[in-house]
Amino acid sequence: MILSRRSSGILLHISSLPSPYGIGDFGSEAYHFADILANSHQKAWQILPLTPTDQGSGNSPYSSTSLMAGNTLFINPEILQKEGLLTRQNLQDNPEFKDAHVDFKEVHSFKTYLFDIAFDNFQRQSGNTSEYEQFCISNASWLDDYTLYVALKKHFKGVGWWDWSDPLRMREQTAILIATAAHTQEIEREKFLQFQFFKQWGALKKYCNLKNIRIIGDAPIYCSHDSADVWSNTSLFNLDTSGKPITVAGVPPDYFSPQGQRWGNPIYKWEEMKKDGYEWWIHRLQHDFTLYDVVRIDHFRGLIAYWEIPAKEKTAINGQWRDAPADGFLTKLTGYFTHFPVIAEDLGTITQDVKQIMNKFSLPGMKVLQFAFGDSADNPYLPHNYNQNSVVYTGTHDNNTTSGWYKNETDTDVKSSIQNYSGVKSNTKRIHNDFIRLAHSSVAGLSIIPLQDVLGLGADSRMNTPSVSKGNWEWRVLKSQLNSKNFIQLQHMTEIYGRV
């Protein structure tokens, strides 16, 4: 059981950290935040997926070209300078980035400029490259496919892999060898950047672990269609002979979404995966368990049953439920891994079969306080209905901030319900602390608070609004906000409720 001791932590993605380079990264501010966590007795730092993002997918970390590669925008230029790959002048060439949000287009342009210089200098160095070479060998099973995919995407001017030339789309061996030789420089550049990403991330994670802080990572359940994962494993996905999806993933219509949600990710061929003992999943989770101390599997219910939509449908209305081999699948995984540190994202309408699987494998689920009020006393998100093997949140990255939610999304019945339950009269200025108190005082083994709620920030600090295509994933905390005074109340409640 991964929640054997009461503890607490903060949810903050890397991109939201302060940095002079337009986006949070693995530099000094990340280490400073780890110090703040330790000093306020927090034992967990939860982040979003560290995988690559692109502007075509709205910069979402849940829609990536690879489930294995790292987001190179998180590479810190000052560390590259210390290694002799950049000069001080290079770093001073940066634009005047805004501190409060990420301008992904501007950041990508500037870091591409820096990375080109750093890679050129790396190639000129005559020193020991054994660490880099070992990285390439150890990660060849995904790195070779991913870096070739990146090179070919650039060569074909960004079109999806299913529209590449037939030999490359179908991964004919001769075509792959010729393409690899033709794009050696671009492939080596991407390998160099992945090496730097994992080297910098590994150092930061080690620092956190030495301070008794566990990193909680996030694993999207599905792959993006236009990804190295699908291109290099087409037999594991429900695709036609041209590489296009026959069916896609989503969720059915409900009260909040009359047409449901059509995500568009290709569906797994579970029977095909079963033939080799779910090797693809084992390899993926081995990678994730190295990156993180604990892994949250997003949309966990899709491992028990999933909503399958014909690819020709424009909405999710005409989908149907399909069973996944959850019992055999998780039996295989938990038998392979002696330690299986997984949190199940079980939000939304959860059926009895999902609960049974989670109980059988002792997987902790999630409780969100913003979902708890204005209903009946048996609402599963009310603290008195929790069990110890659960993780409580005031809100998630998909929710409004608690202050913003209270001000803009609650009615008088919900406000009255909160007051009756907590025994105090809440308002917009104090609701975040009231909710932190409810979360920390609950029996849940782990309490995670988004940094926006620790700071009591409003709706303009929201990280993501589902179904809204623009303006997401951009929020950043200001450097001035990361001072010890702003964490005194959190530290106080952590001590009071035995989460030290």
**Helix H or strand E encompassing 10:** strand 7-11
Residues in the chain: 500
DSSP string, 369-389: GGGSSSS-TT-TTSGGG--SS
Q: How many CA atoms within 13 Å lie on the side-chain side of 439?
A: 32
What's the angle, vertex CA 74, arms to CA 180 and CA 54, rounded to 5? 60
Which amino acid type is present at position 494? T
- 106 belongs to the catalytic site: no
Dihedral of alpha carbons 70, 73, 79, 82, sign: positive
* DSSP tag of 460: G
Contact (Cβ atoms closer than 8 angstroms) between residue 320 and residue 368? no
Dihedral of alpha carbons 76, 78, 82, 85, sign: positive
* DSSP tag of 171: T
- 190 belongs to the catalytic site: no
Rounded distance between C-alpha atoms, residue 362 and residue 347, angstroms: 17
Q: Which two tokens stand for residue 212?
A: 């008794």
Catalytic-role residue among 345, 346, 434, 453: 345
**Helix H or strand E encompassing 296:** strand 294-297
448, 453, 451, 442: which is closest to 497 by C-alpha? 442
Strand arrangement, sheet containing 7-11: 342-344, 294-297, 214-219, 44-46, 7-11, 446-450, 390-393, 365-368
Place of tokens 């179904």: 467
What would you report as the CA-atom Rg of the chain, rounded to the nearest whole angstrom? 23
* DSSP tag of 40: T
Strand segments, DSSP code E, in 156-259 are 214-219, 247-251
Burial class (CB in 10 A: 0-12, 13-18, 19+), 136: middle
Q: Which residues pair with 448 in a beta bridge?
A: 9, 393
Mark out the alpha helices in 292-411 (DSSP H runs): 326-336, 352-360, 402-408
Rounded distance between C-alpha atoms, residue 407 and residue 273, angstroms: 47
Q: Which two tokens stand for residue 167?
A: 């030999």
- 346 belongs to the catalytic site: no
Helix 140-155 vs helix 130-138: crossing angle, to nearest 10? 90
Catalytic-role residue among 145, 218, 298, 434: 298
Which amino acid type is present at position 56? G
Active-site residues, by number, are: 298, 345, 398
